[in-house]
Structure 1
Amino acid sequence: MDTLENRLQRRIHVSLYALLFLTVLLGISVLLEGCSDKCQLTSEYAYYEPVYTPIAELRNSVQVEAPKALEAVGKIYYKGETLFVNEPGNGIHIINNADPAHPVAQKFLSVPGSYELAVKGNTLYTDSYVDLVAFDIRDLNNIHEIARLENVFTNVGSLGFTVNENGVVTDWEKKKMVNLSEPDCETVLQPWGGVYFDRGIALSSAAASNFNAKAAITPGTGSGPGVGGSLNRFALNAGHLYLLDGPDMQVVDVTTETSPMAKSRVNVAWGIETIFPYDKNIFVGSTAGMHIFDISSPEAPVKVSTYEHIRSCDPVVVDGQYAYVTLRSGTTCQGFTNQLEVIDIKNLASPQILKVYPFTNPHGLGIDNTTLFICDGDDGLKAFDASDINAIDKHLLAHYKDINAIDVIPFDDVLMMIGTDGIYQYDYSDASKITLLSHIDIVPHVD
C-alpha cells in the first residue's frame, strides 16, 4: 500500500538526486570556466627557424688555420706531448704540451660539426656532423684529410630537426616575437623550454635568453691510442674505434689507422652518453645506467651486463676491479641525484654497488693509481685519496673552489682539466701538495 510516508520518502530521494545533479553540473561549469579562462591566456615567445647547410658545402669547408683563442671548450684528448681541445661545432685546437706550465697553441683545425675526437698514432679522428673524418697530423705544418666515412652518424639533429634534402641544421635564426595562446589548460613545454611552431620552434622568454644554437645541435658522438676524458663519446681499444650514435655503438676498424673501415653497429639503449675503454671491455654510461660490453672479438661487442641507477647523467671511469660513476641532476639529465657511486666489477656479469658519496653537481672524473679527481661543477675540482673505497670522503687532498669544473685527464702526474672558463693543468706528483701549473682562458666570440 502506497502510504503517505512512502510518497514523502520518494519525493525526498528525488529532491536529493536533483540537488546532487545540480551540484555536479555547477562544479563542472566552474571547472570549465576556469579552464576556459586559462586557455585564453597568451604568452610571448621567441620564434626561431633552422638554418640548413648543404652536406657537400660542409665537406668542402675543412681547413687548417693559425692558432687562435679558445672561444669554447668541449672534449679533450691527450697523445704524446700534444693536447687536443675540441671547440664544439667548430673544430680542434692543437696545443704543444711538452711543458704543461707553458702550453703553446700550434694550430686550429677547422671542422664544421666537430664534437668528438680520438687520436691513434699519427691520425686524428673526429666527427663532422654525419661523417667520420681522419687527418694525418704527422707534420703539423701539413695536416691534411686522409679518409672520410660518409653518413656514418645517422642520429645527428637539432631539437628534433634531422638531416634532410636541405642538408644539416647548423644554426638557428631568430625571426620574431610571437604571442601564442594556450592550446589546452596547461601547455607542456619540450625539455629545451619551448614548443614546435610553424617551420621552427618557439622559445619562452627564459629559454630564449639562454639559447645556444651550437649547443642545441646534437652529434650522433708509441703508435697506440692516447687518453680521453670521461665525457667522450669516442673510444679506442683493440685497434678499433668505438663511436656512440644515438642508441647505438658503432665499430670502426682502425688497425690500419689511415684507412678506417666501418664494421658493425650494436644497439645499446637510448640515453647513452659516454664511453670508456678498459682492458678487453667497453663501459658505456647512460642516463639510466652503465652498460658493460666484452670486446674480446673487437668487431662483435657482446653485452655482459647493465648496472641500473636513478635517471641522471652518468660519466664512468674504471680502474682495476672498481668502476667510479658520477650522477648529476640538471635540465638535460632529468634527475635530482648528485653523487659518486663506487661499483665492484670483479664479476662483470653482476656489478655490485659498494659505496655512495654525496656531491654538489659532479660531472667528469678521472683516477690515476689511488688519486681520484672529481669535477664537481660550480663547487670546483676535488682530489681524493681513494685507497680506502669505504672512506673516500674522509681523504680530501685538494679542493679548488673558484672554478666550474667539467672534465679531466690525469696522466703522468699532470692533470689536464676543462672548466667553463678555460683549461687548467695541475702537478699532482706529490698528492699531498697539488699545484696549479697553467691556465688557458676562454675568450668568447663577440658578433
Structure 2
Amino acid sequence: MKPVLIIFSLLLCVTFFSCDDDSNSELVIVATPEIMSKSDFRKSVEIKGAQPIAEPGKIYIYNNYIFVGDVNKGVHIIDNTNPASPQPLSYIEIPGNEDISVKNNYLYADSATDLVVFDISEINNVKQVERLEDVFEIYNYQIPLEAEYTDFGTFNYETDIIVGWNVKRELREKVNEDSRVWGVAEVFVNDAAAPSNVGVGGSLARFQIINNYLYTVGQYSMSIFNIQNLSNPVLETTQNAGWNIETMFSADGYLYLGSTNGMYIYDLKTPSSPEYVSEFTHWEGCDPVVVDGDYAYLTLRGGNMCGQDESVLEVIDISDKSNPTLAKRYTLENPYGLGVKDDMLYVCDGTAGLKLFKRNTPVELDLVKTLKEAQATDVIPLENSLIMIGENTLYQYEYMVNNVALISAYSLN
C-alpha cells in the first residue's frame, strides 16, 4: 500500500476512534449551553435604537404599535400609525424573553426566571420600573430542536442562567435511545379598576391579562400576578397547569391552555386561583388554540419534535365546558397559529401559507383562499386589519369578502 493511502486510512480510523464496524461510538448532535451568572444577567436589560431582528418570534399589538419578539433576546417596537409604511422605533434587549403583555402603558416581559416591568407611556423613552426575581417555577430553556444530546457541564441553576446554545456534532458513546434528551429541559428554581387598555397577542402567546391579573403559563405551571398596581405586580400563586403546555387563550371567563397532548380548560370565577374544569386529549402534536363562542379551534402540527406525522385542524365543541368533544377534523400540512374574525378562520399553515376558511357554521368550514407567498407562523385578526408574521416578514392585510388584500409587507431584517 502506498504511504499516502496508509496515512489516509489511519486518519479515518482516528476520526471514528476505531476501524471496527462494531464501534461503541456514534456521531451525534450535542447542544451545550452558553451560561451567564444571574447577577450579570439581571444587569443586561438595555433600551436601544432600532435593530435588525435576528430571529423573529411572536407578535403583539398595542395601540398603534407592533411588538415583535426576537427569540430569547428581546422585543422590537414598530410604529404602525401608517400600516402601509411601518417604521422601526426601538429595541428592548431582554435576555431570556419569550412573551410580553401590555396594559395601560405598562409592559410585562419574562426574562428567564424573572418578570420585568417597563413603563412605555413615552414610547421613545421606555424605562424599566420593576423586576421580580425567580417568580417562574419552571423556565423553558429552549433546547435546539436538532439536538440529540445536551451537555449541561458546570451549569448551576441556582446561580446561572442559560442565554443560548452551541450546537455541534461530536462522537459519543452509544446509549439506549430512551436516555437521549429530546425536546425541552426544565429547571426548577425557588418560589418567590379604571377602564383598561390591554394589547392583543397571537395564538402562540403564553401571557394573558384579564382585568387586574396577569396569567402566565410555563411547560407545567401557571403563575398568577396581581397587577392592580401596574408598576408593582405581586405574584399571588403558582399552580399546576397540565402537561407540556405551549399556549394560552382567554375567552368569556375561561382560560384555554394548548398542550402537546390536548387542551385544558380553567374557570376564572376566582381570578387569583383558576379552577381546572376539564381537558380534551388527542395524539401528541404542537398545539395552539383559539376560541369563539361554543367552539375551540386547535391546530396540531406533526413531525420534528411535535409528535405524530399527521397535521390537522380540530374543531372542538365546548358548549359543555366539563365535557369538550371533537366536532370535526380537517387535514393541514404544517400548521402554526390561527385566528377568528366574524365568519372567517385564518390558519397559518407554515410553508403551505396562510389559509382562509369560510365558517358556514362553526363546524363546517370551506377553504376559500390560500396565500402561498409567505411561510405563515402566527396571525392577529384586528378590527380593521389582519396582521401576520411569516419567516422574516410582517404582513398586513385589509379584509375583503372571502379574501384579504395586502396593505404592506415589512422586512424584519
2:6 equivalent in structure 1 = none
1:54 equivalent in structure 2 = 37
1:230 equivalent in structure 2 = 203
Residues 1:407 and 2:390 are matched in the alignment: no
Q: Match for 1:167 among 160, 167, 170?
A: 160
Give the C-alpha shift of residue 183 in structure 1.
Answer: 4.6
* TM-score normalised according to structure 1 size: 0.79
Amino acid of the structure 1 residue aligned with 2:396 = Q
Give the C-alpha shift of residue 413 in structure 1.
Answer: 2.4
> Which structure shows the bigger proportion of residues in strand conformation?
2
Give the C-alpha shift of residue 104 in structure 1.
Answer: 1.1
1:438 equivalent in structure 2 = 408
Residues 1:331 and 2:331 are matched in the alignment: no
Give the C-alpha shift of residue 49 in structure 1.
Answer: 3.6
Amino acid of the structure 2 residue aligned with 1:99 = N
- Unmatched runs of 5 consecutive residues or more in structure 2: 1-19, 144-149, 189-194
Q: Match for 2:219 among 246, 257, 268?
A: 246
Amino acid of the structure 2 residue aligned with 1:179 = L
Greater CA drift, 159-168 or 359-368: 159-168
1:93/1:40 Cα in 2 relative to 1: closer, same or farther (>3 Å)?
same
Give the C-alpha shift of residue 165 in structure 1.
Answer: 4.5
Give the C-alpha shift of residue 298 in structure 1.
Answer: 0.4
Distance 1:301 1:218 in 2: 23
Amino acid of the structure 2 residue aligned with 1:191 = W
Superposed, 1:91-170 pairs within 5 Å as: 91-156=74-139, 157=141, 159=143, 161=152, 164-170=157-163
SS in 2 for 1:56: helix
Aligned 8 A contact 2:356 2:402 in 1: no
1:269/1:81 Cα in 2 relative to 1: closer, same or farther (>3 Å)?
same
1:402/1:296 Cα in 2 relative to 1: closer, same or farther (>3 Å)?
same
Give the C-alpha shift of residue 272 in structure 1.
Answer: 0.7
SS in 1 for 2:365: helix
Superposed, 1:171-186 pairs within 5 Å as: 171-173=164-166, 178-183=170-175
Superposed, 1:416-427 pairs within 5 Å as: 416-427=387-398
* TM-score normalised according to structure 2 size: 0.85
Q: Figure out how many residues of one structure are paired with residues of the other and give that number.
A: 378
Distance 2:361 2:31 in 1: 52
Aligned 8 A contact 1:122 1:223 in 2: no
Amino acid of the structure 2 residue aligned with 1:424 = Y
Taking only the aligned residue pairs, the percentage that are identical comes to: 35
Superposed, 1:168-207 pairs within 5 Å as: 168-173=161-166, 178-183=170-175, 189-191=180-182
Residues 1:263 and 2:233 are matched in the alignment: no
Aligned 8 A contact 1:219 1:245 in 2: no
Residues 1:296 and 2:260 are matched in the alignment: no
1:187/1:263 Cα in 2 relative to 1: closer, same or farther (>3 Å)?
closer
Give the C-alpha shift of residue 294 in structure 1.
Answer: 0.4
Distance 1:47 1:411 in 2: 42
Q: Match for 1:69 among 30, 39, 52?
A: 52
1:413/1:323 Cα in 2 relative to 1: closer, same or farther (>3 Å)?
same
Give the C-alpha shift of residue 171 in structure 1.
Answer: 2.4
Q: Match for 2:66 among 75, 83, 90?
A: 83
Give the C-alpha shift of residue 312 in structure 1.
Answer: 1.0
Residues 1:272 and 2:242 are matched in the alignment: no
Between Structure 1 and Structure 2, whose CA radius of gyration is higher? 1
1:248/1:47 Cα in 2 relative to 1: closer, same or farther (>3 Å)?
closer
1:169/1:312 Cα in 2 relative to 1: closer, same or farther (>3 Å)?
same
1:206 equivalent in structure 2 = none
1:171/1:295 Cα in 2 relative to 1: closer, same or farther (>3 Å)?
same
Render the CA deviation track for 1:116-136: whole Å, top value 9, x for unaligned. 111111101111111000100
Distance 1:387 1:71 in 2: 40
Distance 1:367 1:51 in 2: 39
Amino acid of the structure 2 residue aligned with 1:180 = R
1:183/1:115 Cα in 2 relative to 1: closer, same or farther (>3 Å)?
closer
Superposed, 1:34-49 pairs within 5 Å as: 39-40=22-23, 42-45=25-28, 49=32
Q: CA RMSD in A?
A: 2.3
Give the C-alpha shift of residue 74 in structure 1.
Answer: 0.8
1:385 equivalent in structure 2 = 358
Q: Match for 1:360 among 329, 333, 341?
A: 333
Amino acid of the structure 2 residue aligned with 1:305 = S
